[in-house]
A and B are shown apart, each in its own frame.
Chain A
Amino acid sequence: MSAEPTRVSAPAAISPARIGAMVARYWYLLRSSWPRLLDLVYWPAVQMLMWGFLQLYISQNAGFFARAGGTFIGAVLLWDILFRGQLGFSISFLEEMWSRNLANLMISPLRPIEFVIALMIMSVVRLAIGLIPVTLLAIAFFGFNLFGLGLALAAFFVNLMLTSWAVGIFVSGLVLRNGLGAENMAWTIMFIFLPLTCVYYPVAVLPPWLQHVSWLLPPTYVFEGMRALMIGHVFRLDLMLEALALNAVFFTAGAAAFLALLKSARRAGSLMQTGE
C-alpha cells in the first residue's frame, strides 16, 4: 500500500463538510428508492383530499363553515408540517439503526450537533418533497392556496418546525438509549399533540383545566393563529412570539435530553447493540 500520508483535516468544532456528508448520505438513500419518495407524498395527499371534501360538504350545509372556508385544509397542511417534520427527522435517524451503521458514525469525527443539524436539514427536504405536491393539489381541487398566507405562513412554518425538531431530537435520544424497542415512539409520539394542540377546533372547546395544558404547547398558538387569520382575517403576532418563546424551551429541553440519553447509552453500552 502506498506510504504517502493521506491529508486529513484536523477536526473543527462544527464542520459544514461533515454535515454535508450526512445530508448527502440521506439524499443518496432517498433518490435510490422510489417507495421512500412515494411514501412522502402518499399519506399527506390522502389526508388533504379527505378533509378537503369533508369541508366542501359541510360548508354547503352550515353557515359558519361557509365563512370559515379553508380552515380544515389549512389545519391539515399545517398539521402535516408538524407531523412530517418530526417524522422526517426521526426516520433519517432510524435509517442508521436499520442499516446497523450507527456505530460507524459514533466512532467517526461526526459530532452530535452536526448529526442533529443534518437530520434537521433532511426533515425540511423530506417535508418539501411531500408537501409541495400536496399543496398544489389543494389549489387544484379546492382553490386553497397555502402560500397565499404569505408571511404568516413563514411564522407558522418556523414554529411548527422547531417543535417537530425538538420532539424528533428527544425521540432519537430515546432510540439511542433503548434501541429499536423505542422505534414506535417515533411514529406515534406526535399524535398526543393532535387533540391537545387543537388542530381542528378552537382551544375554547377544551375543558378549562385542559386548556392550561394546551397553552403549554407551541403548536396550539400556531393553530389558533391560523384560525384568527382565516376566519377573523387578523395576524396574531403575539401568538407567534409566545410560540417562539415556548419553542426555545422545548428545543433546549430536547437537545439536553438527547445529550443525556447519549451519555447514558455510552454508560449502558447500547451504542454497540442497536437492535431491540
Chain B
Amino acid sequence: MSSPPAIEAVRLAKVYKATTAVAGISFALAPGTITALLGGNGAGKTTTIAMILGLVEPSAGHVAVLGAKMPGERHRVLHRMNFESPYVEMPRRLTVRQNLRVFAQLYGVRDVAGRIAALADELDLVDLLDRETGKLSSGQRTRVALAKALVNRPEVLLLDEPTASLDPDTADWVRARLERYRHARGATILLASHNMVEVERLCERVIIMKKGAIVDDDAPAALLARYGRDTLEQVFLDVARGRGGAREAAQ
C-alpha cells in the first residue's frame, strides 16, 4: 500500500475580488520527494505555497499537509513543517543564536542548545552565532534562514526561491545542503523557483503553473522529451510564451 501524500491539493482555488490567483489546481506530493513549482511572476506559486502553509484561506477546494486540512487544522502539523523565503526575514537586531533559540522554542525543540550547535556545524554558522542577523551578508542570512527552516527537522519543507540573490557558489552550497537534508530526513520538499539549473539538479518532479492553473506536471526528463528541448529554461519559455504547439507536436 502506498503512503498517503505529504501534501494534497484538491481543486484548490484562491480568488481576490476579481482576480483569480489560483484556479482550482489539484496535485499530490509523495513523502520524501522534491518537487518544483515553476511559473512566471503572477502564476500563482506563492499563493499556492501560502495556502499550504495556512497563511491564506482557499476560496474553494482544499489543501492538506500530513493529513491536516489547512488552515483549519494547522495546529496539528505546523510543528512538523517549516518554510524559508528570502522575502520573509528574521529580527535583524537579534543575534543568530537568539533568533534560532526563539524559533527552536516556538517549534518545541527539546534540546535547544544541542540543535543550534548541530545546525551551526552543518550550515557553517559557528562564527556567526553571536553576530546580529541584520549585519550579515545576504549569503550568510540565507544560511541563517535555512537553519531556522531546519530547526525542527521538518518532515515537510517549503521553499520560496531559496537561492534568489545568491552568488553561484553559495547557491550551489545551499542546494547541496538541501539534498543532504532530504536524504537524511526523508523529508518532502516543495520549492518555488525561477532557477532552472536548481530545479533540474534538485527536483524529481516539476509542476508548471501559468495564470493560476497547472499547465504541465512531470519529471524533468519527461518534460524535456515532451517539449523537444534540451533545458528546462527552454521548456519554461515555451510555456510562458504560449508555444503549446511544440508540446502537442511532441506528444
Contact = CB atoms under 8 A, between A and B. Distances in A.
A272 to B, nearest CB: 5
Contacts of B215: none
A104 B103 contact: yes
Main secondary structure of the interface of B (DSSP, over half): mixed
Contacts, number: 140
B83 interface: yes
Interface of B: 14, 16, 21, 46-47, 50, 53-57, 71, 75-76, 78-83, 85, 87-95, 98, 101-103, 105-111, 115, 118, 122, 132, 148, 152-153, 177, 180-181, 184-185
Pairs of residues from A and B, 5 with the lowest C-beta to C-beta distance, nearest first:
A21-B105, A9-B108, A6-B153, A7-B110, A266-B57
A24 B184 contact: no
Interface of A: 1-3, 5-11, 15, 17-18, 20-22, 24-25, 28-29, 32-33, 95, 99-101, 103-111, 263, 266-269, 271-272
9 contacts: A2-B184, A3-B185, A10-B79, A20-B105, A103-B88, A106-B54, A107-B55, A111-B75, A269-B47
Nearest to B118: A2
A103 B78 contact: no
A276 B88 CA distance: 15
A266 B56 contact: yes
A8 B152 contact: yes
B83 A107 contact: yes
Contact of B153 (A8, A15, A25): A8
A156 B31 CA distance: 57
Contacts of B78: 11, 107-109
Contacts of B53: 107
Nearest to A103: B88
A21 B152 CA distance: 15
B105 A107 contact: no
B108 A10 contact: yes
Contacts of A1: 122, 177, 180-181, 184-185
Given A3-B184, A8-B79, A268-B16, 11 more contacts: A2-B122, A6-B115, A8-B108, A10-B108, A11-B75, A28-B91, A99-B89, A100-B87, A101-B88, A266-B56, A272-B56
Main secondary structure of the interface of A (DSSP, over half): loop
Given A107-B55, A107-B78, A24 B88 contact: no
Contacts of B93: 28-29, 32-33
Contact of B90 (A2, A11, A99): A99
A109 to B, nearest CB: 5
Contacts of A29: 91, 93-94
A144 B39 CA distance: 67
A108 B103 contact: yes
B102 A25 contact: yes
A17 B85 CA distance: 26
A132 B110 CA distance: 37
B108 A109 contact: yes
B55 A106 contact: yes
Contacts of A109: 75, 78-79, 106-108
A74 B245 CA distance: 80
Contacts of B79: 8-11, 109
A101 B89 contact: yes
Contacts of B180: 1
B98 A272 contact: no
A10 B79 CA distance: 7
Given A7-B111, A8-B108, A269-B47, A24 B101 contact: yes
